[in-house]
Amino acid sequence: MFRIQPRTLLKAALLPTSVLMAVGGAPASFASQAPATVSVTSHTHSAPSPDTYYTMRLSPSSVTVRPGHRTMIRISFRAATGLYGTPVALSVSGLPSSVTASFSAPTATIGGRSVLTLTAAPASAVGAFAVTVTAMTLSSDPIGTSTPLSLRISAP
């Protein structure tokens, strides 16, 4: 059975306008054509289709690092079979300025693994921080997911 995703249908309906805007910079109207109308029917969905999302897991999801040291977090992905092998860009937000982040590879793949390394500068302030790790597919229809990471910088 053939399924058309609502997002795909909407993109198809908007394509002529976006093509015209890209070419001429403004929408064009043609006297010989009737104005296009789009009818959108809304349905309530309880959950996204299982083939359109993925999850990211951090292990561990809570880390403690001392100033001048580093810690490593394993990142893994789970998804429907159709998304396996899709490249994703990884990023981190919410880090204190004295902590740097690096990935074993800045681009990972769904179904694969990556390692996030957090390095605290020797003069890092002690405290707890709510960090977020984000993955975004590198495709024409990007799909993103975020996972919280609890970071604690301990006394030296």
pLDDT for 51: 54
pTM over 0.75: no
C-alpha torsion 5→11→16→22, nearest 10: -150
Asked, for residue 38, whether it belongs to a domain, the answer is: no
Q: Quote the number of domains for the chain.
A: 1
pLDDT at 75: 95
- Name the residue range of residue 78's domain: 50-153
- Cβ neighbours of residue 38 closer than 8 Å, sequence gap 6 or more: 13
CATH no. for residue 132? Answer: 2.60.40.10
Q: Report, as ranges of residue numbers, the positions in the chain whose pLDDT lies below 70.
A: 1-52
Could you tell me if residue 98 is inside a domain? yes
83 part of a folded domain: yes
Q: Is residue 45 part of a domain?
A: no
Q: What amino acid is encoded at 138 in this protein?
A: L
> Looking at residue 96, what is its pLDDT?
94
pLDDT for position 142:
87
Average pLDDT score over the chain? 75
90 neighbors 144 (Cβ within 8 angstroms): no
Determine the pLDDT at residue 10: 38
Residue 72 belongs to some domain of the structure = yes
Residue 119 within a domain: yes
